[in-house]
Amino acid sequence: MSQRALILLVAAATLVPASASAAPSLPAAALLAPASACSGQSSASAPAAAQEAAMACLVDYARRRAGVPGLRRSRLLTRAAAGKAHDLLSCQQFSHTACGRAFTTRIDAAGYRYRLVGENLALGDAASGTPSVIMRAWLGSAEHRANLLRPSYRDQGIAMRPGGMPGYPHAHVWVDEFGAPAAP
């Protein structure tokens, strides 16, 4: 029996003022980190924390190559990302509004005060759930790429949770929350 590979993306969610522009466009291949730059990016069997660290490295590499600042890992956005991943799996809905909640619900509940936020989601099964494959898919999607490279974002929180989704019992659910904090 062959394993099927799958990557699902939903349009990236953003709550961004019109004046917050995205970084200039570069080919996706120019933004992908080599394995030597971000270890563990091709492992679907590594612990979640190692895969999340590899994804953070991939995001920062792409942002540096695009000429935009790297992102701080936010404890609050990481909590929000973990909560969203839980919602996706527990409600069995691959959506920015899983469980009937607005995409900002988990961000607000975590206490992250923002002036703008965005969210990327991905679901990979089998070998398609690795950080490098998910990153390649996000860079290939205009909306997800815009979130990854938006110069005004300063913080991010990443969560990867394995679990079953309808038709995909060994899925890796990815959530990347982006934010620009509100002025104090």
State whether residue 7 is helix, strand or coil: strand
CA distance 138 to 136: 6
**Ramachandran angles phi, psi of 133, nearest 5°:** -70, -40
Total-model pTM: 0.88
Token digits of residue 169: 């019992």
Sign of CA dihedral 67, 25, 182, 17: positive
How confident is the model over 83-130, as pLDDT tens digits? 999 998 899 888 888 988 998 999 999 999 999 999 999 998 867 889
Q: Give pLDDT, residue 99.
A: 85
How confident is the model over 11-45, as pLDDT tens digits? 566 555 444 455 557 888 899 999 999 999 999 88
DSSP 8-state secondary structure symbol assigned to residue 104: T
Q: Give pLDDT, residue 1.
A: 31
CA distance 180 to 124: 28
Question: CA dist 32 to 58, 131, 178, Å?
Answer: 7, 11, 19
Judge contact between 137 and 122, C-beta under 8 A. Answer: yes
Judge contact between 66 and 32, C-beta under 8 A. Answer: no
Question: CA dist 15 to 30, 50, 84, 128, Å?
Answer: 27, 29, 16, 28
Range with lowest mean pLDDT among 20-24, 52-56, 164-168, 176-180: 20-24
Question: CA dist 158 to 153, 178, 184, Å?
Answer: 14, 9, 24
Nearest to 120 by CA among 133, 105, 103: 103
Q: What is the Cβ-side half-sphere exposure of residue 2, based on CA atoms within 13 angstroms?
A: 3
Q: Give pLDDT, residue 27.
A: 86
Quote the mean pLDDT of the chain: 87
Number of Cβ within a 10 Å radius of residue 127: 11
Nearest to 117 by CA among 93, 74, 147: 147
Judge contact between 144 and 59, C-beta under 8 A. Answer: no
Q: Which residues pair with 155 in a beta bridge?
A: 72, 179
